[in-house]
Amino acid sequence: MTIHQSLKEKQRQERETLVLQAAQEVLLERGYHDTSMSEIAQRVGVAKGTLYQHFASKEDLVLTLFKRELQVLQDAMKQILKEQESVDIRLSHLVDEICRQIAKKHMLIFMWRESIDTGMELDSQLQAAFNTIHMNMLSLLDEGKNNGVFNAMLPTEVMLESLIGMIMSRLFKTLRSGKKVRHEDLVRYLKCIYFHGITAPASSSQAYQLSAEEKDNISTEHINA
């Protein structure tokens, strides 16, 4: 009986994974508003009623997809926070990971924002995940301030808002425009500006320093991208 239940649960999980993959494909093709449960079911090759056995609604399906993707970032963040590195290096690694996730999944994130703009509410679990990421980043910045690495005169919330604002406005804009600028280059520029801005006057953060070669490689084309 137990083996039968385990097999049945495994099949259910595998089918749910296929549903989420199909949902992501349709979302990226059509956007949240034009995504339908019927098309997702057709992509998976199951009846629409079978789809509703896994997810009560399109909103529930999309929220589950977002949770899965957000968990990837949370797991990466946990590993970075455990690193035996200075606080500025850990923050630098965290910025790398956030930008890497955005570059890899930016179209899905655009759909995420679109779905929220249409009135979809975040459930408590998803909101808790956002809050955890937010608090971890604030904690890291506070640690840097307490250690004299970051400027203690700057409010921590402002430091975090500035970082997120820079990432969203610059990286998102460039990725969405389709311009041929490597996101790795943009990340370097963003970190150069950000870490110079928050580093304490008496400190010398090693999180990001442009080498002479990198300075020479910063072209007008990249800066104006």
Per-residue confidence (pLDDT) for residue 225, from 0 to 100? 41
Between residues 118 and 127, the one the model is more confident about: 127
Domains identified in the chain, total number: 2
Tens of pLDDT, residue by residue over 125-174, are 777 888 888 999 999 999 999 999 999 999 999 999 999 888 877 776 77
Measured distance CA(16)–CA(67) in Å, rounded: 14
Share of the chain above pLDDT 70, in %: 75
The tokens for 214 are 């990198």
Contact 44, 15 (CB under 8 A): yes
Q: Which of 35, 55, 75 is the last residue of a domain?
A: 55
Per-residue confidence (pLDDT) for residue 70, from 0 to 100? 82
Co-location of 34 and 138 in the same domain: no
Co-location of 113 and 83 in the same domain: yes
Measured distance CA(6)–CA(15) in Å, rounded: 14
Q: Tell me which H or E stretch contains 14.
A: helix 2-34
The tokens for 104 are 């890899």
Measured CA to CA in angstroms, residue 49 lies from 26, 27, 46, 53, 200 at distances of 18, 20, 8, 7, 59
Co-location of 47 and 71 in the same domain: no
| Spatial CB neighbours of 118, under 8 Å, sequence gap ≥ 6 | 32, 33
Co-location of 37 and 127 in the same domain: no
Residues of the domain holding 41: 1-55
Distance of CA 49 to the CA centre of its chain: 32
The CATH number that applies at residue 157 is 1.10.357.10
Co-location of 95 and 8 in the same domain: no
Co-location of 104 and 215 in the same domain: yes
Angle at 113 between CA 112 and CA 114, to 5 degrees: 90
Co-location of 72 and 149 in the same domain: yes
The CATH number that applies at residue 34 is 1.10.10.60
Per-residue confidence (pLDDT) for residue 121, from 0 to 100? 63
Co-location of 96 and 197 in the same domain: yes
Between residues 1 and 117, the one the model is more confident about: 117
| Spatial CB neighbours of 79, under 8 Å, sequence gap ≥ 6 | none
Between residues 123 and 69, the one the model is more confident about: 69
Measured distance CA(137)–CA(213) in Å, rounded: 31
Co-location of 62 and 41 in the same domain: no
Co-location of 42 and 148 in the same domain: no
Q: Which of 32, 55, 78 is the last residue of a domain?
A: 55
Tens of pLDDT, residue by residue over 45-69, are 888 888 888 888 888 888 888 888 7
Co-location of 38 and 78 in the same domain: no
pLDDT higher than 90, residue 113: no
Quote the pTM value: 0.72
Co-location of 7 and 85 in the same domain: no
